[in-house]
Amino acid sequence: MKFGILVNEGPYNHQAVDSAYQFAKAAIAKGHTVSRVFFYYDGVHNANKLLEAPQDERQIGKLWAEMAKEHGVDLVVCVAAGLRRGLKEETLAEGFRISGLGQLIEVGIQADRMMTFGD
């Protein structure tokens, strides 16, 4: 089954991000496909390459990027939401790409299930 996931919040501040990641990981482990994770609202901060949580904590940005690399998950950051919040190409972490909101609607059409995680 193909999943699309919408992430509404930034890393660390809300567990929504972690829930989305754990869900995606479990879906992949069960043989499903996560076609795209779309980062909207404060969710754009997940793609900031400067994230540097204490070493003994989970490294959320890296976890997403590894998932993208290993399982071909398309990590898309909303361009307009990113501009408003200062997330642009110069601070974009590897594994993420910036694109328009249409990418969210598109995955909503194409995926078998659309999940939302937010505050």
> Which residues form the interface with its own copies (CB under 8 A)?
10-13, 41-42, 45, 48-54, 61, 83-88, 90-91
Question: How far is Cα 9 from Cα 2, in angstroms, rounded to an integer?
Answer: 22
Contacts of 24 (CB under 8 A, 6+ apart): 3, 5, 34, 37, 67, 73
**Distance in angstroms (rounded) separating the CA atoms of residues 18 and 34:** 15
Which residues are marked as active site?
Answer: 78
Residue 50 CB, nearest distance to its own copies (Å)?
A: 4
Least gap, CB of 84 to its own copies (angstroms): 5
Establish if 54 lies at the interface with another protein (CB under 8 A).
Answer: yes
Helix (H) or strand (E) holding 98: strand 96-99
Interacting residue ranges for another protein, rule: CB under 8 A: 1, 3, 6, 8, 12-16, 18-19, 22-23, 25-27, 29-30, 32, 40-41, 54, 56-58, 79-81, 83, 99-106, 108-110, 113-119
